[in-house]
């Protein structure tokens, strides 16, 4: 081995979070405003340093709770209300990605239902849900309103784009879309999740046939709701199945 173990270069290790939800028929990500240089005043993904005795997943779950109050959905754990799906996304370590020092960031992806107030520990104006389209359009200079027509800090646009792409592809072959829904939801609400994440319109009849016909995907709870207007719809919970086989097909292939 041609290296000296006592002379390894020191790194800072952080976790950054791509927290996605569906609000008002649009896929939104959590953004925080930076209060200090570099990129002061710019929007960024939430994140922070990994502590000395902390696992990466633990650090991500801690940051998620600090920023949103959401608890990570423990894969083997108990049923927590408002639990979010949390998984590792990818790691970004370009030597110049942080001008201050060498920082390696382990990005994580979190999917959460649309919660009332996404508020953070600090002041309310420093954190918000922003449509991902808007956050990513900033990269190409086409922001909506003047104030936010600024790219995300660091390489966070790239990280966000990777997270969105992961979510888009993963709801194809897994039941992960239910992570965007409340505990009980209707087929129509689930369909609107797919439509918002993929940015397409789906046929309600074929979608209904597909999701109700996939064993283990949806479990009827017996109740109905009319919160979407129209004819009352059956309520469902997410079933035990995590992999969809055959998958949902994204149109416009």
Partner DNA sequence: GATCATAGTCGTCTGCCTGACGATAAACAG
Partner DNA sequence: CTGTTTATCGTCAGGCAGACGACTATGATC
**What is the contact surface with DNA in residues (CB under 7 A)?**
186-189, 191, 203-206, 208-210, 212-213, 226, 228-234, 246, 249, 251
Sign of CA dihedral 199, 203, 208, 213: negative
- Smallest CA-to-CA distance from 86 within 106, 113, 110 is with 110
Q: Which is nearer to a copy of itself, 239 or 247 (CB)?
A: 247
Selected binder of a copy of itself within 26, 42, 49, 188 (CB under 8 A): 49
Residue whose token pair is 């894969």: 75
Sign of CA dihedral 111, 116, 120, 126: positive
> If binding is defined by CB under 8 A, does position 13 make contact with a copy of itself?
yes
Strand partners, 86: 110
131 vs 216: CA distance, rounded Å: 31
157 vs 54: CA distance, rounded Å: 26
> If binding is defined by CB under 8 A, does position 55 make contact with a copy of itself?
yes
Q: Which is nearer to DNA, 89 or 187 (CB)?
A: 187
Sign of CA dihedral 189, 26, 244, 85: negative
Stretch that binds a copy of itself, among 10-18, 72-80, 200-208, 232-240 (CB under 8 A): 10-18
Question: Could you tell which of a copy of itself, DNA, none binds residue 56, using a CB distance below 5 to 8 A set by kind?
Answer: a copy of itself
Interface contacts to a copy of itself, rule CB under 8 A: 1, 3, 5, 8-13, 35-36, 48-56, 88, 90-95, 100, 102, 104, 106, 245, 253
């Amino acid at each position: 081995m041609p290296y000296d173990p006592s002379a390894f270069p020191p790194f800072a290790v952080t976790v950054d979070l791509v927290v996605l939800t569906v609000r008002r028929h649009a896929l939104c990500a959590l953004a925080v405003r930076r209060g200090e240089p570099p990129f002061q005043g710019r929007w960024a993904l939430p994140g922070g340093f990994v502590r000395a005795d902390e696992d990466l997943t633990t650090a991500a779950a801690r940051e998620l709770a600090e920023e949103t109050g959401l608890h990570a959905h423990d894969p083997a754990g108990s049923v927590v209300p408002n639990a979010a799906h949390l998984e590792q996304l990818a790691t970004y370590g370009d030597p110049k990605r942080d001008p201050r020092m060498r920082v390696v960031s382990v990005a994580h992806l979190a999917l959460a239902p649309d919660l009332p107030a996404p508020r953070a520990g600090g002041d309310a104006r420093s954190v918000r849900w922003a449509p991902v389209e808007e956050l990513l359009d900033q990269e190409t200079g086409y922001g909506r309103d003047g104030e936010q027509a600024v790219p995300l800090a660091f390489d966070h646009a790239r990280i966000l784009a990777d997270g969105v792409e992961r979510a888009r592809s993963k709801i194809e072959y897994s039941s992960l879309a239910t992570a965007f829904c409340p505990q009980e939801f209707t087929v129509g609400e689930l369909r609107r999740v797919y439509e918002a994440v993929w940015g397409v319109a789906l046929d309600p009849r074929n979608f209904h046939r597909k999701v109700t016909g996939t064993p283990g995907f949806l479990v009827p709870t017996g109740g109905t709701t009319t919160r979407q207007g129209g004819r009352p719809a059956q309520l469902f919970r997410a079933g035990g199945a995590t992999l969809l086989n055959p998958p949902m097909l994204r149109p416009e292939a």
